[in-house]
Amino acid sequence: MHKVSVNRIYVLRSIILAALMMWPLLLFGKPAYMVDSSAYQNGGERAVAFVAHKLDIPIGIADKPGTGPSSEAALKNADGSEDAKVARAITYSVIAYVLSGPGLMMAYLALFHALSTGLVATALFEAVAGPTKRGFAILAGVLTFGTGLALFVNFMIPDIFAGLLLGAMMILPFYWRRCSWPILVLVTGCVALSVSFHASLPPLALGTALVITIFMLLLKKNRPSHPVQALALLWAPVVLGIGLTMLTGIVGFGQPSIAPKHYPLALARGLDNGPARWYLNDVCKDRTRYAMCEIYGTNMPVTVDEFLWSKHNIVTRATPEQMDRIRAEEKPILIRSTMHYPFEQARLILQDVPDQFFSFRLNFFRYGATIVRKDDGNIILKGAGTGDVPEILIWLDWVADGVILIATLALALWWRTMSLAERGIILTLIAGLLVNAAVCAIFSGVAARYQARIIWLIPFTALAIACARGHFGAAVSTLKERQG
């Protein structure tokens, strides 16, 4: 039985796939950004300054805006004199800052995304498909020019890691015996780190693992041949990733949380949808009831943008102590507002989750923004949302939709003759797509990029199974061997 190992062929294929993923950077001259891109750099800079301060390591302060690795803004919180109101994932912020060059362009971070994708995707594909040259060539071509994967590789936020995480959870539990120990450690370590990169990834990993665990426990005769090992590999990145996230929270903020100092996105969504806003406007006649009542009284923000991103948003209006209380009170507010308006909340969920499940267009990538450093030392995104969607991406959007449709039909047609391991991959993929749609729609809001970041796994899975079945040459394994 073929085993994926860290050898010359594996490394070469990973590098080839990574290089192909860089075409958007070469074509447009820079990666794609959103406001979070500069925020990650800012957070990473502060984290590095904090560590340097604690260790008495001198770091340079830029002589002029836009140059140098640090600034007075970065050192502002280093001695703990001013509490941070909000913060994004510490691990990804540090990586984003360290790999922010050249200048503030973040091209090095794009290369990190590409190499991570190449190493993980190549290992997972070969575990299912075997060492097929033709199959890998087709995979590389389809993923590069027939899906939005390369766009997410060059998108300077951690969305790309959602797909890598789900891909590993789909394949490793069923095909772990085809992977050498170095490959298992490499892939598991990469996806465990991924869990700590964004607040949406721990619930995605946890929800998917729970669904598949229940599925495996309900099976009797059709369980994987080594269910204990399968479950261990399913849960390993989840436990390690959440543990790392909580550890960074303790070190950075003294809070063992999977989302310390997070933006109150779920509350923002509740205000925008209505139930949380109606509930707070009613109970905040008593201005001491919640921190939100102290700030807004009975005039709650109406939209997500007004609450989080406007000129007078909650971060600018609240004190650090109030922000901590808002985060602590976020869950109770949402639970009580749901109890007050259960039918309206149910209607919103039943509407938003299906909308999110089928929303994966690629028409949100724009390349008119640049990242700059202001006179006060803060790193910001200049020209956010400017520029038209390039025409080539409009065409790619249509091509990607066609590829997804063909891959979905192929998987449906092959279902009856699939091995148990192949069916396990499909069921985990479906579970992940559903969990991702639910987590993002309920706690953040419907946005095409949330589902688009993982939808490329459908053609990836179809091509891997097609190669295993011999559709691109001689079959690499019999049905019995395809059991994993």
Neighbours of 152 (CB within 10 A): 27
Nearest-angstrom CA–CA distance, 367 and 154:
11
How big is the chain by its Cα radius of gyration, in Å? 23
Residuewise pLDDT in 10s, the chain (484 residues)? 678 999 999 999 999 999 999 999 999 999 999 988 998 998 888 888 877 766 667 665 443 334 444 444 444 444 443 456 667 788 999 999 999 989 999 999 999 999 999 999 999 999 999 989 999 999 999 999 999 999 999 999 999 999 999 999 999 999 999 999 999 999 999 999 999 998 889 999 999 999 888 888 877 666 666 788 888 888 998 999 899 888 877 776 777 776 777 888 889 989 998 999 999 999 999 988 999 999 999 999 999 888 988 888 898 899 989 998 999 899 999 999 999 999 998 998 899 999 999 999 998 888 888 999 988 888 889 887 677 788 999 999 999 999 999 999 999 999 999 988 899 999 999 999 999 999 999 888 889 999 999 999 999 999 999 999 886 654 444 444 454 4
Secondary-structure percent of the chain, ordered helix, strand, coil, rounded to 5: 65, 0, 30
Pairing of strands 370-373, 379-382: antiparallel
d(CA 458, CA 170): 11
